[in-house]
Every structure is written in C-alpha cells, then in structure tokens.
C-alpha cells in the first residue's frame, strides 16, 4: 500500500539526501570517478536482490542517480524506505 504524502515527507526528513519526485524517492550520489560509481551500483544490485525490490540506477562519469518506487502499489511504500536505508548503510560506511 502506498504511503500518504504526509508520511513520505516525514520519513524523508529521516533520510538525508533523498527527495520525492512524483511517486519516486530519488538521490544523486557523487563519486570521485566512474569506477567508484560502478562499484556502488554493484553493491546496490546485491541489496536489491536480497530485498527483492529493484531501483532504477543511472551511472554518469561522476555520479549515480538512484530512483525507487513500488510499481504494484502505485507509489512509495515501506519497501522503498527499507531499500534506501540499506543503501545508506553501505554508502555512509
């Protein structure tokens, strides 16, 4: 079940760097170089498989853009917040 707009906004305050863009949670993560970003995407892919929840990922020369939504719920759900929390654990470490 998709979360209410109020709940999403409240939860976003607990997740620095993430913003709401329509029915998605989005974060742009800068990197020193392309290969660091590529390794980050590999890490996210492993997490996504474990969570059975797969974000859209875009790699550029010096950043990765992560975008997640729960398609079958038509919006942002607890699954999305669990996923971004796991991504934060590996990125902040």
pLDDT at 23: 97
Q: 50-77, pLDDT tens digit by residue? A: 999 999 999 999 999 999 999 999 999 9
What separation, in Å, do the N-terminal and C-terminal C-alpha atoms of the chain show? 31
92: pLDDT strictly greater than 90: no
Cα–Cα dist 34/23, whole Å: 28
Domains of the chain: residue spans and CATH: 5-92 (3.30.1360.20)
pLDDT in tens, 45-56: 999 999 999 999
Surface-to-core class of residue 10, CB atoms within 10 Å of its CB (0-12 exposed, 13-18 middle, 19+ buried): exposed
pLDDT for residue 15 = 95
Instruction: Determine the distance from the C-alpha atom of residue 24 to the mean position of all C-alpha atoms in its chain, rounded to a whole number.
Output: 9
């Amino acid at each position: 079940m998709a979360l209410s707009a109020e709940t999403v906004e409240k939860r976003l305050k607990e997740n620095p760097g993430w913003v709401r863009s329509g029915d998605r949670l989005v974060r742009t993560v800068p990197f020193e170089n392309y290969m660091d970003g590529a390794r980050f995407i590999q890490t996210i892919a492993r997490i996504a498989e474990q969570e059975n929840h797969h974000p859209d990922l875009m790699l550029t020369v010096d950043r990765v853009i992560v975008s997640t939504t729960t398609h079958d719920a038509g919006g942002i759900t607890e699954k999305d917040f669990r996923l971004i929390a796991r991504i934060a654990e590996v990125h902040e470490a």
